[in-house]
């Protein structure tokens, strides 16, 4: 059975690039012309930044019987990592790409006005091979057949009421070379008579301008947090890639004046279920998709592809299911069980914290001896954040180290690749420790010329020792210069030695040494 690229009753206008509208005739003509000119190779890495050209390239490569590879990012490194497994690949680009380690084919700039039929492809034809984000480990390939893409997009459109929004532009802040972007920013408009948008707005004002009062917004919780204060309206809002809190969903519904839906899926299986966040935690499977459960866990089932074992813990309930976190999300510390997602939510809820994440050690996340955390919190230091965390979580789960950083290494979907997170946690460098101007220890020490006492200085220093301080105790310490309320020190660790200097100067404040904690310590 062959399945068409478009719905039969789609409109004459199918896409938009800035202010210019792209007709169905032109769109189909470019697919046919591009298919004739593509290199004769088995695999193509579609790196087109323009979403309309990306969609045309996907269809054109399928006409040539080529499989599109969609790595997690379009960097030369990511493309190079594909070469051992896919040596006969080339890159389709619409930008200068001199650094790519493979042959490149530049998308033609000339317009095409020829007439061409709507392409249709066998349901079993492999349309793309996607690669997981790497947020839980090394990226893995996942085959996506055309029938599965069409079935998922058609069912999602029905669940979301897409028929009520024909002719509306689909504005997406997410990349189209990922599973969520491919299905919701490319396939959804093509299959449901909405307009494919060539751009990918980032700033809130640009998103509002792109929606123009009637568009559909495809985004993520990270982007929604930034967009919630922007005055704009939309047909509906779709979010994915991370859990959306009820509070943020309500803020977004008020901001956009429309329902906010979430879609659940993964790179391995595609989209599977939807829910309106404010209506509760229950997800409902898309028509034709389902879940089955056995001793191994929960399996996603759907048309055209084998069942996929999911990484999430799923509880079946009446008329749907509830997510209970990822299997790798659970940690056991000192006999106490916890969830990294829950701990992260408590961290982000602290006043002054803009972003953050809890992570478990790479070697054994299920039986972690000590958690770690990265935090974005301008004006706060690690000691202040840890003190706030003590009021929210069990002390066993307090992170060591906790690093305050300028930004988390989120990818284009807002996810946090594990390797990048751990690279920041173990990076050799300096950690800033601030002392409030009204520090409570100040008034009692040298009235009129207060200083931070040594005990308080050491207590604030401990979180800053970072990964190198794990399993260690302070063996010797020397105080070189007083620290006063309102000042900050930069702490650095080299092997078992540490030192702190006044921020912005080379004045040594404290130095010392650590030694391993013995079994009897």
pLDDT score recorded for residue 520: 40
Average pLDDT score over the chain: 85
Kindly state the percentage of the chain with pLDDT values over 90.
Answer: 42
Q: Determine the distance from the C-alpha atom of residue 286 to the mean position of all C-alpha atoms in its chain, rounded to a whole number.
A: 23
Burial class (CB in 10 A: 0-12, 13-18, 19+), 165: buried
Strand partners, 513: 476, 497
Per-residue confidence (pLDDT) for residue 9, from 0 to 100: 60
Give the residue, 38 or 329, on which the prediction is more confident.
38
Q: What pLDDT is attached to residue 155?
A: 96
Give me the residue label for tokens 């230091």. Answer: 381
Residue-wise burial string across 441-472, b where 16 or more C-beta atoms lie within 10 A, e elsewhere: bbeebeeeebbbbeebbeebbbbbbbbbbeeb
Provide the pLDDT for residue 244. Answer: 87
Q: Where are the alpha helices (DSSP H) in 293-417?
A: 340-348, 382-390
Of 99-108, 197-206, 434-443, least confident by mean pLDDT is 434-443
By three-state DSSP, how is residue 131 classified?
strand
DSSP assignments along 250-270, one per residue: HHHHHHHTS-EEEEEEETTTE
**pLDDT for residue 158 is more than 50:** yes
472-510 tens-digit pLDDT? 567 788 999 998 888 888 787 766 678 888 876 778 999
Region 434-459: what's the mean pLDDT?
76
**Are the beta carbons of 386 and 364 closer than 8 angstroms?**
no
Stronger pLDDT, 72 or 291, i.e. the higher one = 291
pLDDT in tens, 9-61: 667 899 999 989 999 999 999 999 999 999 999 999 999 999 999 999 999 99
Contacts of 179 (CB under 8 A, 6+ apart): 130, 142, 144, 265, 266, 267, 270, 271
List Cα–Cα distances, 160 to 263, 272, 273, in angstroms. Answer: 10, 13, 11
Confirm whether pTM is higher than 0.85. Answer: no
Q: Which residue has the higher pLDDT, 425 or 294?
A: 294
Domains, the chain, in order of start with CATH, read 2-233 (3.40.50.12780), 326-427 (3.30.300.30), 428-521 (3.10.129.10)
- Where does the pLDDT of residue 368 fall: very low under 50, low under 70, confident under 90, or very high at 90 and above? very low
For the cut 50, the answer to whether the pLDDT of residue 366 exceeds it is: no
Tokens 């906010």 map to which residue?
260
pLDDT digits (tens, 9 = 90+) for 411-434: 777 788 776 777 676 554 556 677
The percent of the chain in helix, strand and coil, each rounded to the nearest 5, is 30, 30, 40
């Amino acid at each position: 059975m062959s399945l068409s690229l478009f719905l039969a009753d789609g409109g004459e206008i199918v896409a938009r690039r800035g202010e210019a509208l792209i007709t169905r005739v032109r769109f189909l003509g470019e697919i046919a012309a591009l298919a004739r000119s593509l290199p004769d190779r088995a695999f193509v890495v579609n790196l087109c930044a323009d979403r309309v050209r990306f969609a045309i390239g996907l269809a054109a490569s399928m006409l040539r019987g080529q499989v599109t590879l969609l790595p997690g990012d379009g960097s030369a490194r990511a493309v190079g990592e594909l070469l051992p497994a896919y040596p006969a690949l080339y890159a389709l680009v619409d930008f200068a790409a001199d650094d790519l380690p493979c042959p490149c084919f530049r998308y033609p700039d000339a317009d095409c006005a020829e007439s061409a039929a709507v392409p249709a492809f066998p349901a079993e034809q492999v349309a793309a091979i996607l690669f997981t984000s790497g947020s839980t480990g090394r990226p893995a390939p996942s085959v996506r057949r055309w029938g599965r893409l069409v079935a998922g997009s058609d069912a999602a459109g029905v669940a979301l009421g897409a028929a009520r929004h024909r002719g509306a532009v689909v504005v997406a802040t997410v990349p189209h070379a990922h599973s969520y972007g491919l299905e919701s920013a490319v396939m959804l408009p093509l299959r449901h008579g909405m307009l494919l948008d060539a751009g990918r707005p980032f700033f809130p004002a640009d998103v509002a301008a792109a929606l123009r009062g009637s568009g559909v917004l495809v985004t993520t919780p990270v982007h929604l947090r930034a967009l919630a204060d922007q005055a704009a309206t939309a047909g509906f809002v779709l979010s994915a890639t991370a859990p959306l809190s009820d509070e943020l969903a309500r803020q977004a519904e008020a901001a956009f004046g429309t329902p906010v839906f979430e879609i659940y899926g993964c790179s391995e299986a595609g989209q599977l279920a939807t829910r309106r966040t404010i209506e509760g935690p229950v997800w409902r499977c898309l028509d034709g998709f389902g879940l089955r459960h056995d001793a191994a866990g929960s399996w996603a089932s759907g048309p055209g592809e084998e069942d996929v074992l999911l990484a999430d813990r799923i509880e079946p309930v009446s008329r749907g299911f509830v997510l209970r976190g990822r299997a790798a999300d659970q940690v056991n510390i000192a006999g106490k069980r916890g969830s990294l997602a829950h701990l992260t939510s408590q961290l982000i809820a602290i006043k002054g914290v803009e972003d953050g994440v809890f992570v478990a050690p790479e070697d054994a996340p299920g039986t972690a001896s000590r958690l770690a955390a990265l935090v974005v919190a301008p004006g706060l230091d690690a000691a202040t954040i840890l003190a706030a965390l003590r009021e929210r979580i069990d002390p066993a789960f307090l992170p060591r180290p906790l690093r305050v950083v300028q930004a988390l290494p989120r990818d284009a979907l807002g996810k946090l690749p594990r390797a990048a997170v751990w690279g920041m946690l173990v990076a050799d460098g300096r950690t800033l420790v601030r002392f409030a101007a009204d520090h409570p220890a100040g008034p009692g020490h040298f009235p009129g010329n207060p200083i931070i006492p040594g005990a308080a200085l050491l207590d604030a220093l401990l979180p800053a020792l970072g990964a190198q301080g794990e399993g260690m105790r302070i063996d010797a310490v020397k105080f070189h210069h007083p620290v006063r309320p309102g000042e900050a020190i930069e702490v650095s660790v080299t092997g078992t030695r540490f030192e702190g200097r006044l921020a912005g100067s080379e004045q040594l404040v404290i130095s010392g040494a650590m030694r391993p904690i013995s079994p009897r310590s």
